[in-house]
């Protein structure tokens, strides 16, 4: 049985910048985080397909 699961969007702290909105560049300067675009927050959602099968152990004869 295949089941489709969808989680509604939620606001979460940006994992890339830790919620600060800025990250360190390679040259050591502060740059706007490209993931959250400086807000420190991201909208996260998820869609999954679950494949559910019965467990059938090997027959012991």
- Is 47 inside any structural domain? yes
- Is 60 inside any structural domain? no
Q: Is 17 exposed, middle or buried (0-12, 13-18, 19+ CB in 10 A)?
A: buried
Query: Can you give the pLDDT of all 61 residues of the chain as single tens digits?
Result: 999 999 999 999 999 999 999 999 889 899 999 999 999 999 999 999 999 998 888 766 5
Length of the chain: 61
> Total structural domains in the chain?
1
Structural domain of 30: 2-51
pTM surpassing 0.85?
no
pLDDT recorded at residue 61: 59
CA angle 42, 6, 36 (to 5 degrees): 10
- Is 58 inside any structural domain? no
- Is 61 inside any structural domain? no
- Residue whose token pair is 């740059």: 31
């Amino acid at each position: 049985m295949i089941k489709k699961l969808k989680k509604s969007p939620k606001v979460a702290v940006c994992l890339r910048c830790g919620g600060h909105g800025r990250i360190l560049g390679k040259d050591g300067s502060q740059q706007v985080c490209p993931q959250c675009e400086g807000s420190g927050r991201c909208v996260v959602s998820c869609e999954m397909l679950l494949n559910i099968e019965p467990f059938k152990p090997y027959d012991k004869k």
